[in-house]
Amino acid sequence: MESVDLPWMSHSSADAFLETAERATLGCLILDVRMPGMSGLELLAQLNQDDVDVPVILATAHSDVPLAIQAMKDGAFDFHEKPIDNQNMLESVRKALAHQASKVSERDRMASARKAFEQLTPREHDVYARVVDGAMNKQIAYDLGISQRTVEVHRAKVMDKMSARNLADLIKMHIALRGMQPD
């Protein structure tokens, strides 16, 4: 990790990690399947249970196909057999960090979209709902009892507030926002 300027730290066990880790600053974890005390798979399960969203790369000298399959089902980002090929491990770490950065960016984008959605006026909400359902401006105007020009103004405000570049972008945000709401 040092050879490519990636900061890292080591812990003597899973319990030691859990006692000292600052979860908000995690990048990715490289765990051995067999560690003192809690195994790497058990730590992965604990992180999942605690809703800690961090990529986990597992390594083991005692690999078999069922173990690798279980690790991936449990959410492991990658799985390496020992002896570790340093270049392959670095590539996995880079991919894990890029994946995490992408997820953080998407979460931030969705938080902004949710905040923007909450800032829409009641009339903009009416227009928004009909736009994402595929209604044309003329139909929206008729449904809401307003002029087509007024619909165009509200639609432009919705697009601006939601930072949507186009209708497809707005619909993608709508689907993502709808998916985040409890049933």
Letter for the amino acid at 110? M
Burial status of residue 106 (CB atoms within 10 A of its CB: 0-12, 13-18, 19 or more): exposed
Q: Is 53 exposed, middle or buried (0-12, 13-18, 19+ CB in 10 A)?
A: middle
| Residue, of 147 and 179, whose pLDDT is higher | 147
- The model's pLDDT over 64-118, given as tens digits with 9 standing for 90+, comes to 788 888 889 999 999 999 999 999 999 999 999 999 999 888 888 889 999 999 9
This prediction's pTM:
0.70
Kindly report, residue by residue over 114-163, the tens digit of the pLDDT: 999 999 999 999 999 999 999 999 999 999 999 999 999 999 999 999 99
Within the chain, residue ranges assigned H as helices are 14-20, 40-49, 65-73, 86-118, 122-132, 137-144, 148-161, 167-180
What domains are defined for the chain?
A: 2-107 (3.40.50.2300), 119-180 (1.10.10.10)
